[in-house]
Amino acid sequence: MNLTIDCSFLPHEDADASLAFYRDVLGFEVRLDVGAKNMRWITVGPAGQPDTSVVLQPAVIDGIGISESEADAIRTLMAKGLFAALNLATDDVDTTFAALEGKGADVVQEPMDQPYGVRDCALRDPAGNLVRIKQK
């Protein structure tokens, strides 16, 4: 078997805010944008990596069979950064962090050496999803 990762999915609550974060802060390319308002599916991905994408999808879609209390639970977990996450890698985490912080990213953790052997930092996207960036 020869499997590759094509795309992963992250929830959003505000499509425009999520689009601005992934495009303008992280510098991802917009590959597809379908739907309207909060019923938008936006496919983004790192420049130069056309085979790897992230689909930003509505966190809760009316009529998909979940109760309002379940929808509230999803939103609560998202706000805490516990529902979904994205792990990225860079050649220089300190320089990358400084650039992202300068663009107004919501910082969760400044760059630090972890006891498990990586140096990383963490941000939160507008939906609350945790974005960790490690040094290669």
Query: What digits encode the pLDDT tens for the residues 8-54?
Result: 999 999 999 999 999 999 999 999 999 887 689 999 999 999 999 99
- Does any domain span residue 1? no
Which residues, in sequence order, are bridge partners of residue 107?
A: 123
7-18 pLDDT, tens per residue? Answer: 999 999 999 999
**Angstrom distance (rounded) from CA 90 to CA 86:** 13
pTM: 0.92
Tell whether the model's pLDDT for residue 76 goes beyond 80.
yes
Assess if residue 83 is contained within a domain: yes
- Assign residue 72 the CATH number of its domain: 3.10.180.10
3-state secondary structure (DSSP) of residue 97: helix
pLDDT at res. 55: 97
The model's confidence at residue 104, banded by pLDDT at 50, 70 and 90, is very high
Residue range of the domain that includes 89 = 7-61+68-135
Residue 63 banded pLDDT, cuts 50, 70, 90: low
pLDDT of residue 108: 95
**How many distinct structural domains can be found in the chain?**
1
91 located within any domain: yes
Q: Is 2 among the domain residues?
A: no
Calpha distance 78→60 (Å, rounded): 11
DSSP secondary structure of 26-90? S-PEEEEEESSTTS-EEEEE-TT-TT-EEEEEES--TTSS--HHHHHHHHHHHHTT-S-EEEEEE
